[in-house]
Amino acid sequence: MYGNTLVLIMGEAKRRKNLGIPPREKTEDIKLPQLDKKAIQQKVRSILYKYPIIPFLFYGAAILILIGGLFYVFKSFNIV
């Protein structure tokens, strides 16, 4: 039983060496695509210049969500 537990605890590299198997080949690292920040900024700016109402819509939606959340909290805890 003691010999079997050593096999379970032994690491893969040591096991491969004992079995005479060559070391495992390293896999290639996954390369993330590089983002061109300048191009993204130019694209966003061109959209915002084309539609200047977008920031106001986002701020309005955020304020409505905040008010709705506060209303939900007040209603659920019976604060008012």
Domain that holds residue 50: 35-80
> For the chain, how far is it from start to end, CA to CA, in angstroms?
70
Q: What are phi and psi of 29, to 5 degrees?
A: -70, 140
Task: Give the relative orientation of helices 37-50 and 54-77 as an angle to the nearest 10 degrees.
Answer: 90
The residue with greater pLDDT, 69 or 11, is: 69
Q: What is the pLDDT of residue 26?
A: 81
- Tokens of residue 62, six digits: 């955020």
Q: What percent of the chain has a predicted confidence (pLDDT) above 90?
A: 48
Q: Is 30 domain-assigned?
A: no
Q: Is 14 domain-assigned?
A: no
Q: Is 29 domain-assigned?
A: no
Q: Is 13 domain-assigned?
A: no
Could you give the number of structural domains in the chain? Answer: 1
Average pLDDT over residues 48-55: 95
Average pLDDT over residues 23-35: 84
